[in-house]
Structure 1
Amino acid sequence: MRRIVVSAEILAGNEVVLTGDPFHHLFRVLRMKSGDEVLLLDGQGGCCRCRIGRVESRRAALTVVERWTEEEKVIPIRLIQGLPKGDKFDFILQKGTEVGVSVFAPVIMERSVPLLKGENGQQRFARWRRIVDEAARQCRRPRVPEIQPLVDLASALEDGAGGLRLLCWEEGSRLLGEVLPGSRPARVTVLIGPEGGFTAPEVALALEAGYAPVRLGPRILRTETAGIVIAAWLQFLYGDMG
């Protein structure tokens, strides 16, 4: 059955009215028609199986046939990612969603390359949101990850209290496997630097905030790879991939 993410407000009643992007995707891209059924997700675990009724030029009415809630068994992972060059963060959002990241926290670091001109913050965030929505739909994930506003490192670290906190740093004295506890932590925050890595003041800031410096082995992973590898490892050990 086709799946699409919509806002929770749309699913409040027994009849659903679709307009805008959801309407375009279902009826212009997927070519669905009256009588077809579709699964509408609110991105927070709410699921509605709906039957398409009236289809007009720019809106459609659907009837809710069945409603339920799906819970995830992922371990909550917040990925603080130093903003990389070009569209690499798009890749991180897509693959991070697939492996179970719950929160993406993009940050500007000293070695982050300035963002490309021509796209303002609102447009950029909307594009990131579409990438995560589509990735969640594609991998059949009932909950859509949160994308936090773009901030500096100090601000991002303030929001990382509690749980296990990991600083992925090639000069870390311990391997990741040596730091991970035997029992499942309540949550994990993973800090990844941009191309060029962390500066000394940034490392000091993370250590002061309680982050454990860890290495991922003998190979240096790319910034767009490191967080995905760690998230998959954590979901295998503590979440729903093991």
Structure 2
Amino acid sequence: MRTLFFVDDLPTTVGSTYEFNNDDALHAIRVLRTKSGDDFNLSDGKGNWSHVQAKEVHKKHMTVEVLETGHQDALGTHFTIIQAIPKGDRIKEAIELCTEGGADRIVMWKAARSIGKSDDKIEKLQTTAREASKQSRRFRIPEVKGVAATNAVVDQIAHADLAIVFHESATMKVSEVVAPGCTKVAIIIGPEGGLTDDEIDTFAAAGAKIALMGRPVLRSAHAGLAALSAVNTALSVW
């Protein structure tokens, strides 16, 4: 699969040339050693893409020719991950994994037992989602939002066709709560210290399903990817 880079001003005219000169271009030149004749993809992060070929490679920029352009439609199911803020660098790991797992929107949530902080990191976390999208060859970069309070999570539940809270106390499996045909799915992931009884009761009262992800208890930063995998499979998206 071709390497992917993002640009703000995506060229979409076949046969035209374009000056590729942002930070991604530097990475392509200095790290990936891109040379004249190499081809790769550019995208605007909103589903539009162009297959290009390098014509002239300089120290900090390159001239490319547009060979083909297109648009990738969004999948029929939209996934929102509501992630309780994990501590330290695990917040970045959570964003990376959820992006690679296909999340369309990631909402950072200040749960009662959240230790980490992300109030001043949303812009950096959006950059993390951008980089993870390149790594996973996604033409659509997920939106990172936050920081949400619990009442905002309740609003997210109200706007979803299916909202699932994963907790080890649940008696129902993912396959038992997922119904075919859902187009708006919200997945709520608790913090390292676990969800409180009040949070579980509040989300259940708002219409969320409480489900078990299996016997092992995962780290908060890893649970989003596992949940996306399970729900995507149950909905036959994967």
What band does the TM-score fall into relative to the shorter chain? 0.7 to 0.9
Name the SS of the counterpart of 1:159 in structure 2: helix
| Cα-to-partner distance string for 1:134-186 (whole Å, 9 max, x where unaligned) | 322223233222212322222233234131011112233433222122x2311
Q: In the alignment, which of 180, 195, 204 is matched to residue 192 of structure 2?
A: 195
State how 1:148-227 maps to structure 2 within 5 Å. 148-160=145-157, 161-181=159-179, 183-227=180-224
For the pair 1:228 / 2:225, whether they are aligned, the reply is: yes
Aligned residues, how many?
235
Deviation at 1:232, TM superposition (A): 0.4
Name the SS of the counterpart of 1:11 in structure 2: coil
Deviation at 1:73, TM superposition (A): 4.0
Q: In the alignment, which of 31, 35, 44 is matched to residue 46 of structure 2?
A: 44
Q: Which residue of 2 aligns with 1:18?
A: 20
Q: Which residue of 2 aligns with 1:33?
A: 35
Q: Mean Cα displacement is larger for which, 22-31 or 51-60?
A: 51-60
Deviation at 1:20, TM superposition (A): 2.9
Specify every segment of 5 or more residues in structure 2 that has no aligned partner in the other structure, as ranges. none
Name the SS of the counterpart of 2:93 in structure 1: helix
- CA change 1:221–1:74 in 2 (3 A) is farther
Quote the Cα distance in structure 2 between the aligned partners of 1:142 and 1:205.
Answer: 36
TM-score when normalising by structure 2? 0.85
TM-score when normalising by structure 1? 0.84
Specify every segment of 5 or more residues in structure 1 that has no aligned partner in the other structure, as ranges. none
Q: Tell whether the 8 Å contact from 1:109 to 1:153 is kept in structure 2 after alignment.
A: yes
| Cα-to-partner distance string for 1:188-225 (whole Å, 9 max, x where unaligned) | 10111101112233223322322122222344332223
Q: Mean Cα displacement is larger for which, 36-45 or 169-178?
A: 169-178
What is the root-mean-square deviation in Å for CA atoms of aligned residues?
2.5
| Cα-to-partner distance string for 1:23-56 (whole Å, 9 max, x where unaligned) | 2111121122334322112222212011223444
Q: Which residue of 2 aligns with 1:100?
A: 102
Q: Which residue of 2 aligns with 1:6?
A: 6
- CA change 1:97–1:114 in 2 (3 A) is closer
Q: Tell whether the 8 Å contact from 1:83 to 1:109 is kept in structure 2 after alignment.
A: yes
Name the SS of the counterpart of 1:149 in structure 2: strand
Q: In the alignment, which of 92, 99, 121 is matched to residue 90 of structure 1?
A: 92
Whichever residue aligns with residue 4 of structure 2, its letter is I
